[in-house]
Chains A and B, each alone.
Chain A
Amino acid sequence: MIHACTLGLHRHVFPDLKAVLAKASPARSGDMLAGVAAASEEERMAARLVLADIPLAHFLNEAVIPYEDDEVTRIILDSHAAGAFLPVAGLTVGEFRDWLLSDAADTASLAALAPGLTPEMVAAVSKLMRNQDLILVAAKCSVVTRFRNTLGLPGRLAVRLQPNHPTDDPRGITASMLDGLLYGAGDAVIGINPATDSLPAITALLRLIDDFREQYAVPTQSCILTHVTNTLRAIDQGAPVDLVFQSIGGSEGVNSSFGVSAALLDEANAAARELGRGTLGNNVMYFETGQGSALSANAHHGVDQQTIEARAYGLARRYQPLLVNTVVGFIGPEYLYDGKQIIRAGLEDHFCGKLLGLPMGCDICYTNHAEADQDDMDTLLTLLGVAGINFIIGVPGADDIMLNYQSTSFHDALYLRRVLDRRRAPEFEEWLEKMRITDYRGELLAQNSQYPLLGLAESIQETP
């Protein structure tokens, strides 16, 4: 369907919905690389003016990637809950933005609405929202998930402890893991990006964390971030798999480039649930996403990278995951050029995921060839904290020596807890106090050798 508007002397014409969405998107390098971005600032505003007047219901009739061609589109449209959509069914995208900011949209009504929204509706409205709008609305959303602890409760912030090591050395990994735990991190998951995909190595890492977790009765979950097929094989072999990890994207093509499909994810989700290892709940999936992956896989269908990213969340919610992590600054400057673009993308992803009912976290990160630095990360960290993010990443000193990029540190999480009064997952908080890592307020205690984890740290060094 053709959309058009006149601004001054210029008539701006957009051939279809995906063109309106792409040109309404805030500027970013990936959309320019794909050739879908607005050619001028006026054209961007023209697209926004057009977008604001498009009825939300239109999104159910015009798919940005055809239903016949794409599994993700089919999942999005087939799972759309018409009843849940009713409260906003008569609104345009622009009116929807106002409704989201209004008092009619509270935590309960937003949760009830989530299954009635499609990713494209959510992406569309985000393009009409300023950063403060994205923060305000996301902060009203609450998404709580459970495995061995409870994540996403109001006033809480969790941390994925990411003790990566370039050669998967068990002592090196343990050193980073203990460092993180002694800083009170690890309630979201203890998750390792392995250097190798070999099954024996994956299994060894799973046992390394699981043995530790069992011995110290840590109320958290572990994950080795390997391909879903490896995790399925590990499950077959009886390895202690808590969560199934997979990178996913917002089109069938990008998922196929990742070597996954909905059928494969269905199988993995069922296999992990069947293990019944969660003590408080059975959210077993951990997904990672990031704007730009579809373009990188040449599977973007002319859709802008932020809309495609929201579609990945449409796939993710089929599985009621424990964690969804947008790895926002990892992909590089050809997709998100600088701190401004990374910050905007992080806020968009968090907002879109939350509105769709997902437990969103963010790897607040950058690479050394992006125009970004620690100040940009501090800004995004603070903004996402205010927006009520479920979890962030914790890496020793923010320097991931395996993946060669900068994420957030254990200290960063403590900063956020202090300035925003955010506590850890309740079960984990209790454990930290029992282990004398924190006091009753959640503040770190000075350690001494009599405390169990420091005792363990001292014993590792003595191993030859």
Chain B
Amino acid sequence: MSQKPAILTPDPWQQLQGLTRARVALGRAGVSLPMREVLRFGTAHAQARDAVHTALDVDLLANELQADGFKTLAVHSQAADRATYLRRPDYGRRLDPASSGRLADNGKNLWPTRPRLAIVVADGLSSLATSSHTRAFLAALRAHIPDLSTQPLVIATQARVALGDEIGHALGADQVVVLIGERPGLSSPDSLGLYLTAGPRPGLNDAQRNCISNVRPEGLPYAEAARKLAFLIDGARRLGRTGVDLKDDSDAPVLAAPETATPFPPTLNRLEIPA
């Protein structure tokens, strides 16, 4: 048996990999990426794509949340399917007529007292984030809001952040928090975003919300995210509004939501509303 010849040129600066998550010191086959890295990258991209395109299992999530004591209602945006959702962000910000009717007919029966906080659980751009983190995050939030399960919980599909405005308004809620899957990154397919809006009604803009981003065990842990959200909910109640005027004085930074959930370059930060 002859020995295999050395095919790859390794990069003798692999110790730099300890300093950043960036894909440094990958080595090369000729001038090209080694097979192993091409497969690693392809896997990460596949997971991110699946996170965008896998439909949220609404029944499963509803059953789980009901087991946790919540009453739930499912709604759908005007974006009929994922392809429409991706092309038409405006459709994702409005309820379809059937959902509006359901909210009007059933909302008052399910939640007869005027809600302080409506919880909207939305698929956004990563149903994986929503299905993976909703239960655990709400459990963590319950530590701060003991009667959380008496508040309305609406599961929304093909939804953008602003859909919460219409839902919160229909329910007459003082505040709405939208838990939504953020645009998946290559190494973070399951980032959950939290958007808090006081006095929800159609026509608000993103400067009137507060955002907590990258909620997941490898990012901002549930307990920490819950603590920050509870802090903002309290602050918004006292201030009477959310948005740029509501500052987070808890120790980790909460951004007054610019237009995006994921950190876009400050340079291009107006170019897209991802969720």
Contact = CB atoms under 8 A, between A and B. Distances in A.
Interface string B168-207: 0000000000000001111111000000000000000000
Given A166-B263, A399-B41, A404-B185, A175 B20 contact: yes
Given A374-B41, A404-B185, A368 B13 contact: no
Residue from A163, A288, A396, A398 having most chain B Cβ neighbours under 10 A? A396
A227 B266 contact: yes
Given A193-B266, A296-B270, A397-B41, A458 B31 contact: no
A369 B13 contact: no
B1 interface: no
Contact of A448 (B12, B18, B45): B12
Contacts of A176: 20, 22, 24
A246 B37 CA distance: 34
A369 B32 contact: no
Given A32-B87, A368-B52, A179 B186 contact: no
A461 interface: yes
Given A334-B86, A404-B188, A397 B22 contact: yes
A98 B189 CA distance: 48
A395 B41 CA distance: 14
Contact of B265 (A403, A415, A418): A403
A333 B26 CA distance: 30
A296 B28 CA distance: 40
Contacts of A404: 183, 185-186, 188, 262-263
Interface residues of B, number: 55
Contacts of A258: 270
B48 interface: yes
Interface in B73-131: 86-90, 125
B274 interface: yes
Contacts of B264: 403
A174 B26 contact: no
Given A172-B19, A288-B267, A461-B18, A334 B41 contact: no
Nearest to A453: B13
Contact of B268 (A179, A182, A290, A337): A290
Interface string B29-47: 0111100010001101100
A344 interface: no
Contacts of B11: 179, 182, 447
Interface string B196-223: 0000000000000000000000000000
Interface string A385-397: 0000000000111
Contact of B187 (A164, A169, A401, A447): A401
A411 B31 CA distance: 6
A226 B267 CA distance: 6
Given A333-B87, A368-B186, A403 B263 contact: yes
B2 interface: no
A157 B271 CA distance: 28
Contacts of B31: 411, 414-415, 417-418, 444
Contacts of A292: 271
A373 interface: yes
A406 B28 contact: no
B16 A460 contact: yes
A399 B183 contact: no
A39 interface: no
A332 B272 contact: yes
Contact of A399 (B30, B90, B186): B186
A284 B16 CA distance: 32
Given A172-B20, A176-B22, A334 B270 contact: no
Nearest to B186: A399
Contact of A247 (B267, B272, B273): B267
Contacts of B272: 296, 330-332, 334-335
A258 B16 CA distance: 36
Interface in A283-311: 288, 290, 292-293, 296-297
Contacts of A29: 87
Given A369-B52, A369-B86, A175 B22 contact: yes
Nearest to B37: A397
A397 B39 CA distance: 12
30 contacts: A32-B87, A33-B89, A166-B263, A171-B20, A175-B17, A175-B19, A197-B266, A225-B267, A246-B267, A297-B270, A330-B271, A331-B271, A332-B272, A333-B86, A334-B86, A334-B272, A337-B86, A368-B48, A369-B52, A369-B86, A373-B45, A374-B45, A398-B23, A399-B23, A399-B187, A403-B263, A404-B188, A411-B28, A417-B31, A461-B16
Given A179-B16, A444-B28, 14 more contacts: A225-B265, A226-B266, A227-B266, A245-B267, A331-B272, A334-B89, A369-B274, A402-B263, A404-B185, A404-B263, A409-B33, A444-B31, A448-B12, A458-B13
Please give me the 4 A-B residue pairs with the lowest Cβ-Cβ distance, nearest first: A397-B23, A404-B185, A414-B31, A172-B20
